[in-house]
């Protein structure tokens, strides 16, 4: 029997009080189960996205598997373009604001490409930048692909504190205006190092090796890795080596600078740095809230949680970022903007917390993101160098 706000008056006072307490407890328990189901449905939707991406639901890009046939053009991103996302994708991904804001010609990662998925998840904000050219792939395959794509960009170069800086023209013009405003407030905006802006594929490869080689030596010395296996990994091509390192990290053999966390917290995989797009700039004065506020007003935002000096040109006002499918994340007193790939809970409300306990794609079960299964694909926050 349900009474709504209060029990009926014809019951005795004691009965009314007793039944009211029972009703209140039942209502609280019902709300607790509902909140649990909401949390489970949110995790299940993200799990469904991962299932689809990792188990064959992606339309592979055309051209050679190594990436040689990809159309590495430099057309400005007008948003809401036609990209290669599969019509079989979960609605929460295919219909997301982030997906709709991707540029025409953007190629989603191939099925099972964990490396690209982790890159896109954590610092894919650059792919929805407006008024500029954005990379058509998550990870460039080699130096030739990067050089070809960069050569088609409209760029501009200027000196910052004696360091030559090259960026896409719109990004540079916005940065120059930000520097002028900073000077008026007796602040400054200068590069953290000589490689604060544009980088080549080979530079990203060198930075990657600066973490991999010490890591291999460290785990050999600890007896966790044989010298033969380390040498095999060291000789692998960059893309395969990055995947091999991620597999070692699933065993707890981490390759960050202090060997305590994922290498992706410390350096981007070769070909994956935002600096390749000429839309990223490492700021020496990044600790200043005034400088960060000025950069925001000119379209420069922080988009990588683990890289504090790193700013990305997105080309729009802060209020418009959610429309591009980016979510605001607060960490360490700062604001970061990351791709929002989660499903709205209202669209996938589960009646029971176990509704989406297992997702199966093409007959292969995949553990729910909420299950805590140690073997499921994990998306941790990587860092761009």
Tally DSSP H helices, then E strands, for the chain: 10, 9
pTM of the model: 0.69
What is the structure's pLDDT at 39? 52
At 332, list the tokens: 């360490």
Q: Which parts of the chain have pLDDT scores under 70?
A: 1-93, 111, 343-385
Task: Name the 3-class secondary structure at 234.
Answer: helix
**Distance between CA atoms of residues 185 and 213, nearest Å:** 44
- Rounded Cα distance, 258 and 214, in Å: 10
The continuous run of DSSP H or E covering 43 comes out as helix 13-54
Task: Please tell me the distance from the alpha carbon of residue 307 to that of residue 283, in angstroms, as a whole number.
Answer: 11
Q: What is the dihedral of CA 82, 86, 87, 88, to 10 degrees?
A: -160
CA 186 to CA 349: how far, in whole Å? 52
Q: 135 and 146 in contact (C-beta within 8 Å)?
A: no
Q: What are the phi and psi torsion angles at 358 (to 5°)?
A: -140, 135
| pLDDT given for residue 14 in this prediction | 54
Q: CB under 8 Å to 285, separation ≥6 — which residues?
A: 182, 187, 188, 189, 190, 291
Give CA–CA dist 15/366, Å, rounded.
51
Cβ-based neighbours of 52, under 8 Å, separated by 6 or more: 58, 88, 89, 90, 93, 361
Q: Where are the domains of the chain?
A: 202-265
User: Residue 367: what pLDDT?
Assistant: 30
Specify the pLDDT at position 221.
97
Tens-place pLDDT, residues 192-229 = 999 999 999 999 999 999 999 999 999 999 999 999 99
175: helix, coil or strand?
helix
User: What pLDDT is attached to residue 5?
Assistant: 47
């Amino acid at each position: 029997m349900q009474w709504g706000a209060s029990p009926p008056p014809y019951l005795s006072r004691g009965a009314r009080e007793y039944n009211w307490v029972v009703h209140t407890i039942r209502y609280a328990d019902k709300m607790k189960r509902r909140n649990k189901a909401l949390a489970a449905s949110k995790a299940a939707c993200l799990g469904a996205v991962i299932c689809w991406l990792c188990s064959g639901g992606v339309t592979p890009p055309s051209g050679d598997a190594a990436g040689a046939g990809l159309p590495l053009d430099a057309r400005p991103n007008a948003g809401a373009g036609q990209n290669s996302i599969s019509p079989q994708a979960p609605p929460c991904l295919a219909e997301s604001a982030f997906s709709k804001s991707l540029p025409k010609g953007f190629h989603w990662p191939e099925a099972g490409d964990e490396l690209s998925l982790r890159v896109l998840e954590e610092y894919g904000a650059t792919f929805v930048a407006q008024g500029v050219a954005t990379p058509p792939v998550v990870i460039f395959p080699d130096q030739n692909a990067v050089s070809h794509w960069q050569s088609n960009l409209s760029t501009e170069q200027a000196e910052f504190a004696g360091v030559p800086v090259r960026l896409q023209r719109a990004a540079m013009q916005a940065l120059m205006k930000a520097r002028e405003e900073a000077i008026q407030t007796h602040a400054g905006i200068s590069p953290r190092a000589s490689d604060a802006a544009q980088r080549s594929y080979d530079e990203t490869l060198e930075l990657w090796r600066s973490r991999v080689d010490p890591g291999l030596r460290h785990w050999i010395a600890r007896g966790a890795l044989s010298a033969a296996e380390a040498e095999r990994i060291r000789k692998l091509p960059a893309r395969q080596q990055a995947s091999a390192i991620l597999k070692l990290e699933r065993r707890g053999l981490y390759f960050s600078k202090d060997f305590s966390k994922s290498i992706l917290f410390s350096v981007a995989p070769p070909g994956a740095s935002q600096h390749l797009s000429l839309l990223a700039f490492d700021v020496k004065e990044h600790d200043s809230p005034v400088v960060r506020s000025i950069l925001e007003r000119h379209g420069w935002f922080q988009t990588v949680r683990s890289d504090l000096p790193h700013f990305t040109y997105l080309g729009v006002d802060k209020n418009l970022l959610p429309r591009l499918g980016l979510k605001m994340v607060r960490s360490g007193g700062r604001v970061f903007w990351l791709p929002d790939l989660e499903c709205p809970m209202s669209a996938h409300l589960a009646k029971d917390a176990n509704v989406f306990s297992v997702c199966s794609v093409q007959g292969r079960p995949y553990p729910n993101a909420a299950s805590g299964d140690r073997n499921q694909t994990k998306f941790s926050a990587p860092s761009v160098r």
